[in-house]
């Protein structure tokens, strides 16, 4: 299974692309959020924290879908691996697998097999970093707006 270097290379390349896209989405999303929250003239500044939380959740959903698209595209070529499940893996199953991996909940009813496991392992690390980045951002925004 791992003897096909084209499949291994494709998984590594796809993983690199998806990770770069996720980091850029997160960076640009947080940058836009800081600008937007600063310009917003709310009579209740604490409401800005609420807007920030919803925006950060939206960023994470986008990133989960990016990884899900990566799984789905790679699974179209059987040499990159497959997912152990009770049925064939659909597009939404790929998104579900991505959500379980990104949030580091772990594998349950779906588990990757073959070279595609590299994408899964890297997604878990990326998700952990993005979630902690969001937590730090939220803490700083709460410091800025919560006490007013």
- Per-position DSSP letters for 77-115, written without gaps between them: SGGG-EEE-SS---HHHHHHHHHHHHTT---SS-EEEST
CB 63 within 8 A of CB 130: yes
Kindly tell me if the per-residue pLDDT of 142 is higher than 90: no
Angle at 23 between CA 22 and CA 27, to 5 degrees: 120
List domains and CATH numbers for the chain.
5-145 (1.10.287.70)
Please give the distance of CA 109 from its chain centroid, rounded to a whole number: 20
Which pLDDT does position 49 carry in this prediction? 83
**pLDDT above 70: percentage of residues in the chain:** 92
DSSP single-letter state for residue 148: -
Confidence of residue 88 (pLDDT cuts 50, 70, 90): low
What pTM was estimated for this model as a whole?
0.90
Kindly tell me if the per-residue pLDDT of 86 is higher than 60: no
Query: Between residues 93 and 3, which one has the greater pLDDT?
Result: 93
**pLDDT above 90: percentage of residues in the chain:** 63
DSSP single-letter state for residue 126: H
């Amino acid at each position: 299974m791992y003897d096909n270097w084209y499949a291994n290379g494709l998984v590594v390349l796809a993983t690199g692309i998806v990770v770069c896209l996720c980091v850029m989405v997160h960076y640009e999303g947080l940058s836009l959020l800081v600008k937007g929250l600063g310009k917003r003239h709310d009579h209740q500044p604490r409401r800005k924290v609420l807007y920030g939380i919803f925006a950060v959740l939206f960023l994470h959903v986008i990133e989960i879908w990016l990884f899900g698209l990566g799984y789905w595209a790679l699974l179209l070529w059987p040499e990159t691996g497959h997912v152990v499940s009770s049925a064939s893996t659909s597009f939404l199953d790929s998104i579900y697998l991505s959500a379980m991996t990104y949030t580091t909940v772990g594998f349950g009813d779906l588990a990757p097999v073959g070279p595609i496991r590299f994408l899964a392992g890297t997604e878990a690390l990326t998700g952990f970093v993005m979630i902690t980045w969001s937590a730090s951002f939220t803490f700083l925004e709460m410091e800025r707006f919560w006490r007013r």
